Structures are given as C-alpha cells and as structure tokens.
Chain A
Amino acid sequence: MADLDVTPDVTARPLGDPLVVLSHVNKHFGDLHVLKDIDLTVHRGEVVVVIGPSGSGKSTLCRTINRLETIDSGTIRIDGTELPEEGKALARLRADVGMVFQSFNLFAHKSVLENVTLGPTKVKGMSRADARTKATSLLERVGVGNQADKLPAQLSGGQQQRVAIARALAMDPQVMLFDEPTSALDPEMINEVLDVMVSLAREGMTMIVVTHEMGFARRAAHRVVFMDGGQIVEEADPETFFTAPRSDRARDFLSKILTH
C-alpha cells in the first residue's frame, strides 16, 4: 500500500448533478450471481473508490459502466442516457467514458504517441497535427513526454499505465474508470501512477476507481463503496469507512489489509 499523505483536500468541493447512475443492475456468469441488484449514483466531479475482496464483483461493476460486460437486468445511465446496446451509439458513449485497465493494454504495435493520438484522430476526426499536440501535452502532464516515440514494451509498468491514462484523457471523457490500475505494478511504481490520479481528482475529474490503495482512497475519494459477494455492503466517506466501518464484513476485510 502506498504511503500518501492523508489530506482530504479534494472532498471539500461541492458535487454536480448525477452523471453515472446504476439502478437494480444484475449480472450472472453462468450460475454465479456476480452483481446483485446494484444501485450506485456517481455525481459529476465525484471520486468514488470501490473496494472489496477478490471475486466481490467490483471489477465487473466497473466494466459494465462502458459495457465491456453486458448486464442481465437493470439500467445504467450516463449523463441521463441509457447505455446503448451495440453499434455506433455505444462507440460514441464509450468515447465519453475513459477506461484504465489493470494490465495497461497499450496497443503493442503502436508507439506511445500513436497510442494517445489513435482515439482523437479516428473517433473524433481530429487532425493529426492537433492530436499530436494534444497527445504531447498529455504525455508531458503524466510525466512520460520523453518516451513518445518508444513502443509500450520498452517502458516500465508505471510508465505504461501513465500512458494509458493519457490515452483515456485524450478523448476528453466525462468520467474515468480505473480497474485496479496499480495491481500489476511493482511497489516502487505505484506512487507515480497514484500521483497522476490524485492530480486528476484535484482537477475535478469524475472517477470510479477499483483499487486496494487505501492511501489513495483517503487522499482523493469522496466516497468509498465496499462490495462483497456481488453486493454493495457499505458506502461512506473514506474517514468514516476506514475508522468506523458499520458492517462486520467491512470490519473483517479491513482488519485483514490494514494490520501491517
């Protein structure tokens, strides 16, 4: 777990209208009921951290929001629009929802710069020159500006993940999803990624973050959502959740990860 200073400077900001609204969302993998009647509302500018034991459905929840996973019942709305089934409308919506994966998933055959310019040029029809300018400034912002011409495989995990964040930001998303963004990283690289995420949160980005980084949750999150067995068991602001969890399951989970 990363050692970040605990100053909830982000959370004082007032929140906007509901941006991501999940209601009565259910999903099965065969016989396994992975999401059980999930209700979750994330407001514009809000940073929500989703934590829970593995297999609790938190990654699946994150992936349903841009329909990388389909749902069996319930609705997911983004900025008032229900998620389209397939096709152009879904592609358009995905362009508005940035996603950062646990395994980075940078396009392995393209340079770092091309990874970031691909979306703006092909989806938004931006000119190559504009996309390049934008990508360069984003890469600078996440601290990998000098790696633009390398291939992803030539970068460290932390650098790759920061490029992945820049790639998502290049689409000017309304909301960013982070699916365990630091879980595949060596410990010394976790902070460089978390720092970028904290600065994003400070700038007012709406973020849904699946993570085990309690330091990040305390420092940047408005709200912690605790999941177990496919359900949202508890929701609270980070301070309340970490110091006085209400449910036994949350207490049990925290005792296992916070003891050392």
Chain B
Amino acid sequence: MTDDSFTDDSFTDDSKGEPVHQGYLDDVSTAFADYDVLGAFWVNIQLTVYAGLIALVLGTVLAVMRISPVPSLRWAGTTYVTLLRNTPLTIIIVGCVLGLWGQLGVSLGTGFQQNFFRLAVLGLAVYHAAFVCEALRSGVNTVPTGQAEAARAIGLNFGQVAGLVILPQAFRGAVAPLGNVLIALVKNSTVAAAGSVAEASVLMKEMIENRPDIILTIFVVFALGFVVLVVPIGLATTSLSRRLAVAR
C-alpha cells in the first residue's frame, strides 16, 4: 500500500487519458442523466389521475348507496368498504395483475405495459374508492338533517335529494378529507410496482442497484419528488375547503 492510495483521484492530472474519478456532484448528475426520472414520475402522475377519477366516481356511487333508504344497497356499500379498506393495497394490486390477468386472462389493453398499467389503475381505484366513500360520508355528516327534510318536503325523490341538495354540500364539506385520500393515492401509486408497472419507485430501486455509491442521494431525490407532488395538493385542498365551505 502506497501513500498514493490516499490521494483523491479527482485531483490527478487528466493528461494521461486515464478515466477520471469526478466529484460527487458530477457523479450524481451523470447518474441522473442516464435515467428518465421525470418519465418515471410521470407514470405515477398518470396512475394517480386515472385511478383518482375512477375512485371519485365509484366512491360517490358507494356513498350514495350507503345513505340510500334501500337496505340491500346500504349493505352492499358497507360490505364493499369493509372488504376493500381492510385489504392491503399490495395484495389488491397483485390480485389484479396475477389474479385477474395471470389466472383469469383478463386483459385491459394491448401489450404487457399497457395491460399492467391499466390493471394497476383498477387496483388503485377500487381500493381508494372505499376511502373516497368514507370521506364523502363525513361530508354528508356536515349537512344538517333539515336540508334533506326540506328537499323531501317539496317532493324531490331520493336521487334528486342526494344529487341536488346533499351531495353538492357534502363535497364542499369533504374537500379536506378528499384531499387526504388524493395525497395517499399519489404515494400509494408506488405500490403499482407490485404489478410490474415501471414507475418511480421501480426506477429508484434500479438506480440504487446500479449506483450504490450514491444511494442516499438517489433516495432523497425520489423522496423530494413525491414531496413536490404532494405539498401543492395539501395547500390547494386546505384553501379550497375554506373557500368552498357552505355558509350556514
């Protein structure tokens, strides 16, 4: 062992044409130049948007079922929420991909990539619909009983009472909890990895395997990426929930 081994390579002269060990920042920038990090996050955003929209529709239907006067509908809604909310998301996604597609041959698109992506959206949507339903129900609880009574008293049927009077106020009272569901969905979109969807967390794992010299930086960059996605949602829902609150 010579004293040379303690010298920092990066300070050595480049003139001999030997590979140069660059500084840490250069390491990081070359590593991130080799991988499409933004593209990976874009997959998470797409997963979130599609699953979020489906979950919003499905969750609204479930919430209406749970407040309906028909006992069998209430039972079905409650059962759905109990089952889906209490099953780990990983198992639901794996169930969608390996169960629906692998075992039953259900295909939602052409090619593996599109099919897995859509199956993962399905899994994320059915899971988060249960939480949307519960968030909406908390919104329904902000609407005084008298609103429904007055609506019934002028002759509106159940669908009209729910659609014209209760839900519009319930949504406005549920902005904050719905925002929380959306925030959870953004982060839970990484679970799509369990369904072989190449999204941010998959890329992170791959980068860490290939560049163990900058593990912490890779981790921090991906973590910050999610913070950047999530923080605006939190700020927006907080200000929206204040702006949209129904004056009583």
| A interface, CB within 8 angstroms of B | 66, 68, 86-88, 91-99, 101, 103-109, 118-119, 122-123, 151, 153-154, 164, 167-168, 171
Interface pair A101/B246, CB less than 8 Å apart: no
Query: In B150-166, which residues have CB < 8 Å from any A CB?
Result: 150-157, 160, 164-165
| B interface, CB within 8 angstroms of A | 69, 144, 146-147, 149-157, 160, 164-165, 168-169, 172, 246-248
Query: B155 — which chain A residues lie within 8 A by C-beta?
Result: 91-96, 119, 123, 171
Task: Report if A109-B172 is in contact (Cβ < 8 Å); known contacts: A103-B146, A122-B164, A153-B247.
Answer: yes
Closest approach, in angstroms, between the C-beta of B154 and any C-beta of chain A? 4
How far is A103 from B148 in the complex, measured between Cα atoms in Å? 13
How far is A116 from B248 in the complex, measured between Cα atoms in Å? 18
Chain A's closest residue to B248 (CB) is A108
Chain A's closest residue to B145 (CB) is A105
Interface pair B246/A109, CB less than 8 Å apart: yes
How far is A151 from B244 in the complex, measured between Cα atoms in Å? 13
Interface pair A107/B149, CB less than 8 Å apart: no
Interface pair A99/B169, CB less than 8 Å apart: no
How far is A67 from B106 in the complex, measured between Cα atoms in Å? 49
Interface pair B147/A167, CB less than 8 Å apart: no
Task: Report if A95-B247 is in contact (Cβ < 8 Å); known contacts: A103-B146, A107-B147, A109-B168.
Answer: no
Interface pair A108/B147, CB less than 8 Å apart: yes
Interface pair B69/A101, CB less than 8 Å apart: no
Interface pair B147/A101, CB less than 8 Å apart: no
Closest approach, in angstroms, between the C-beta of B170 and any C-beta of chain A? 10
Query: A96 — which chain B residues lie within 8 A by C-beta?
Result: 155
Chain A's closest residue to B160 (CB) is A122
Query: B69 — which chain A residues lie within 8 A by C-beta?
Result: 86
Query: B160 — which chain A residues lie within 8 A by C-beta?
Result: 122-123
How far is A109 from B246 in the complex, measured between Cα atoms in Å? 6
